[in-house]
Amino acid sequence: MTTKVALEQHVAAGSPELREVFGGVAAAAREIAKQIRLAGLSDALGAYGAVNVQGEQQQKLDVFANDVMIKWLGQVASVAACVSEEDEAPVVFANAGAKYIVIFDPLDGSSNIDVNVNVGTIFSVQELQGGDLNASILQQGTKQAAAGYVVYGPSTVMVMTTGTGVAAFTLDDSGEFIRSNDAMQMPEQGPYYSTNEANAASWPAAYREYLAMLLRGDLNGKTYSSRYIGSLVADFHRTLLKGGVFLYPPTDKAPKGKLRLLYEANPLAMLAEQANGAAVNGPERILELQPEQIHQRTALIVGSKREVEALQKAVLEAR
Ligand code: FDP
């Protein structure tokens, strides 16, 4: 029989402070998972009635998940501040000597909340640099101390990295995250592309040509099938396990891309690279982008190396 390894034990091999951070995220995820599981019975579904800093309608569960993340992380001595998709400015805690900032999207996939389809929490952990909060938040993704997400689906699963590979933990009935995969590897190439094809007419031409190439089977003789859930966490999770490519290119409506660099693209790019995959914004590696604003948007192409490298080459050649 294999020995059970809990999330906190797994992280303890790294640093005690990071273990505390993961303990805080796990406590929040447990509470969010429970609320989502019983949402239909507790008046937790539907719109909250306010608009967030992104100009998006907040759902009740967005607000709940945000409050829960801040509540738990504020109790972690090593967390100096949180940055959330739902809040315009960082939330700073009075934790003297704290080393980390946790940057997160508390509940990703808003359009799927009310229809019982997978949603998730995405997080990135940055180290505080000499007490300068703003500069510490706006660090390149290469500097992340850790990253991960929780997908609330048929199982609740946390996928995480502290920079030495990617592991997954499944929430058991007693409320513990138990390791269910200790070395996740993205296949070199996969069977799926994942994108909102309804936007294709407003993508730059290189993206349309790339998609046509996948459909024709011009990339290593393989033709692709399509999968799109519309929750980034869920689409990424499938791409990590099965391989292939997720694309959210620039569109006329979102010329800089729709997804957020700090709390969506950076953590997923770190996970992808740690699992032998890749992530770009088209021409450049996501993890090397220099953030300028907390809520900055980016195009995101993430997945297996072959597909992502082929897209990057197509975009660079089109310039
Ligand atoms: P949503 O707008 O539902 O919150 O982060 C935003 C996000 O979802 C991602 O989860 C998802 O990948 C993407 O946007 C879906 O956008 P489209 O509806 O434009 O396809």
Residue 232 has pLDDT above 90, yes or no: yes
> How far is the C-alpha of 288 from the C-alpha of 142, rounded, in Å?
6
- Secondary structure letter of residue 162 according to DSSP: S
Chain segment 189-222, per-residue pLDDT in tens: 999 999 999 999 999 999 999 999 999 999 888 8
Residue nearest to atom 20 of ligand 1 (CA): 196
How confident is the model at residue 47, as a pLDDT?
A: 81
Burial of 169 (0-12, 13-18, 19+ CB in 10 A): buried
pLDDT digits 0-9 by tens, 152-173: 999 999 999 999 999 999 999 9
pLDDT of 42 reads 77
C-alpha span between 239 and 271 (Å, rounded): 12
Distance, in Å, from the CA atom of 288 to the CA atom of 10, rounded to the nearest integer, reads 28
pTM of the model: 0.96
Listed in sequence order, the residues at least 6 apart from 67 whose beta carbon sits closer than 8 Å to its beta carbon are none
pLDDT at 131: 76
| Predicted confidence (pLDDT) per residue in 57-75, tens digit | 788 899 999 999 999 999 9
Provide the pLDDT for residue 2: 67
Instruction: Look at residue 306 and tell me whether its pLDDT is greater than 80.
Output: yes
Determine the distance separating the centroid of ligand 1 and the alpha carbon of 17, expressed in angstroms. 32
Cα(230) to ligand 1 centroid in Å equals 5
Q: Which domains does the chain have, with CATH numbers?
A: 7-181 (3.30.540.10), 192-317 (3.40.190.80)
pLDDT at residue 3 greater than cutoff 90: no
> Pairing state of beta strands 79-84 and 100-108?
parallel
Inter-residue contact 118 to 150 (CB < 8 Å): no
Question: Are 94 and 78 in contact, with CB atoms under 8 Å apart?
Answer: no
DSSP string for residues in 258-306 = SEEIIIIIHHHHHHHHHTT-EEESSSSBGGG----STT-EE-EEEE-HH
The pick from 232, 235, 266 for probing ligand 1's pocket by mutation, whose C-beta has the most ligand atoms within 8 angstroms, reads: 232
What digits encode the pLDDT tens for the residues 81-133?
A: 999 998 999 999 998 889 999 999 999 998 898 899 999 999 999 999 987 89
Between CA 157 and CA 315 the distance in angstroms is 34
Instruction: Give the tokens for residue 169.
Output: 């933990």
Nearest atom within ligand 1 for CA of residue 85: 5
The answer on pLDDT for 1 being more than 60 is no
Dist. CA 184–CA 162, nearest whole Å: 13
In tens, the pLDDT along 17-52 reads 999 999 999 999 999 999 999 887 877 777 877 777
DSSP assignment letter at 218: T
> Mean pLDDT across the stretch 217-240?
95
For ligand 1, atom 19: residue with the closest CA: 196
- CB hemisphere CA count around 105 (13 angstroms): 28
Task: Report the mean per-residue pLDDT for the chain.
Answer: 94
Return the residue matching tokens 């447990």: 30
CA distance 82 to 69: 9
